[in-house]
Amino acid sequence: MAVTAARHIAFRVLRRVEAEGAFASDLLHAELGTDVKPADAALATQLTMGVLRWRRMLDFLLERQTKKPVAQLDLPVALALRMGLYQLRFLSRIPPRAAVNESVELVKLARKASASSLVNALLRRAAAEPSTPAENFLPANISTAERLGILHSHPTWMVERWISRLGEGRVLRLLEANNQTPRLTCALHHLDRRREVISEIEGAGLRVEPGRLLKTAFAVSGGSPVRTGAFRVGSISIQDEAAQMVPLLLGVQAGDRVLDLCAAPGGKTPALVRASGSKGLVVAADLHAHRLRAMYAQLQRLGLRGAHLVELDATKALPFRADFEGILLDAPCSGTGTLARHPEIRWRLRPEQLAELHRLQTELLMTAIGHLAPGGTLVYSTCSIEPEENDAVLTEALRIDRTVRRVAASEAAKVLGPYLLPGIEVTELFDPIGQFRTLPGEQPTDGFFAAILKKSK
């Protein structure tokens, strides 16, 4: 029996995610070229992301039979078991026989034929109880965090810290949101061409829905916007709505000198280039040359040539004589606000890494403040929902450098308000001290944090 293209692609991607530490979304983008049928692309994506999201619950169910951690099995065997069980549990349109048999074939394809009987036996047993709730198999008297961690497939340590800060109700909504397929949201770069661009995308067979928060946002389904003419000519980009808002918070004016300090892969730089205009200056810097090359290609696609790309280490002295009226520091972070989009993060992140990230982020922020012109504006942002990377970084930076202040909530809201759809209450996107926050399960976006700082004149 041959393995279908979709399952083979998903299997390859999952192996590389585990073995190489790559992101599934990047690997899928590379694998799903124009020669892959849309139905195969959709199933490969669903299998890959589904297995990554539900890995802990899948392993919990499998370990009832294996009597040892699934992670101790050979990687191809573990992946075939997870893929097979995911199909049995979550994909009702796939016949159980196909889910079982093709998982066995995947093991043989990976030259682990000796494990094929194990995979066959375990999945056939699982096929007999596909609709039995996982909760029925939980041991008695486990903690709330452990129970939610198994049933919603998150590490217990992560659930524990979220409950202590957010409460069980909010965390339950967050966990559920993290296991949903996020909306594929696009940014429209020329609002006056909205009708024309939308018509072109729909003509390519995609379904279009309005954005939830921004005038320039819309969501697509039923295909990939990357394959449309609108994407190729730079009319649109794929970007979460909260990510689209972050560069807007900087309030860049025509002619401003702007520094995008950790710029790659360049999703936020285009908004800065457009706002500063032909008389402005935008320097987009990053540590890695290969990421800057990808960013250059992105700017070329968008027809933007006003950004100067610089390879540098922002933890060291920067090679700039002049200061900048605007600085965006979208700092490297844990990414815990993007677990629906990048589910592999939940299995890679360790609690001790948050302290390491805090030190790096604080160092980067102090560098940025040092290059901010008097009266200038700085936006510090992350796609993390962890206080160590957000509030604690701001608190430390403001204690060290008294020349900057956090912008008040009313002032911050005025910057973002004009870009929002009618009826959206801008104050709901900011906390009482003016920091921008979104949380999956509460806003229809990834989880983002941003603070606007002003330097005294």
Catalytic hit among 186, 262, 333, 383: 383
Query: How does pLDDT run across 63-84, given as a tens digit for each residue?
Result: 998 888 999 999 999 999 999 9
What per-residue confidence (pLDDT) applies to 1? Answer: 59
420 DSSP β-pair partners: 214
CATH number, domain 242-455:
3.40.50.150
pLDDT confidence tier of residue 306, bands split at 50, 70 and 90: confident
CA distances from 102 to 85, 97, 243, 303 (A): 12, 8, 39, 45
Query: How does pLDDT run across 236-290, given as a tens digit for each residue?
Result: 999 999 999 999 999 999 999 999 999 998 899 999 999 999 999 999 999 999 9
Average pLDDT over residues 46-59: 98
CA atoms within 13 A on the CB side of 257: 12
The C-alpha atoms of residue 160 and residue 177 are separated, in whole angstroms, by 17
383 catalytic? Reply is yes
CA atoms within 13 A on the CB side of 106: 31
- pLDDT at residue 34 above 80? no
pTM of the model: 0.95
As assigned by CATH, the class of the 184-238 domain is alpha beta
The tokens describing 246, both together, are 């972050």
Average pLDDT over residues 217-231: 92
Task: Tell which residue, 245, 302, 294, has the closest CA to residue 273.
Answer: 302
The count of other CB atoms within 10 Å of the CB of residue 35 is 6
pLDDT confidence tier of residue 42, bands split at 50, 70 and 90: very high
Residue 398 and residue 406 in contact, taking contact as beta carbons nearer than 8 Å:
yes
What per-residue confidence (pLDDT) applies to 223? Answer: 87
Strand 324-330 and strand 257-260: the pairing is parallel
Residues in Cβ contact with 174 at an 8 Å cutoff, skipping those fewer than 6 apart? 162, 166, 439, 440, 441, 442
Q: What is the DSSP secondary-structure string of 250-270?
A: T---TT-EEEETT-TT-SSHH
Query: How does pLDDT run across 358-397, given as a tens digit for each residue?
Result: 999 999 999 999 999 999 999 999 999 999 999 999 999 9
Dmax over Cα atoms in the chain, in whole Å? 73
Percent of the chain surpassing pLDDT 90: 89
- pLDDT at residue 89 above 90? yes
Going by the DSSP 8-state scheme, the letter that residue 153 receives in this structure is T
What per-residue confidence (pLDDT) applies to 245? Answer: 97
CATH number, domain 5-137:
1.10.940.10
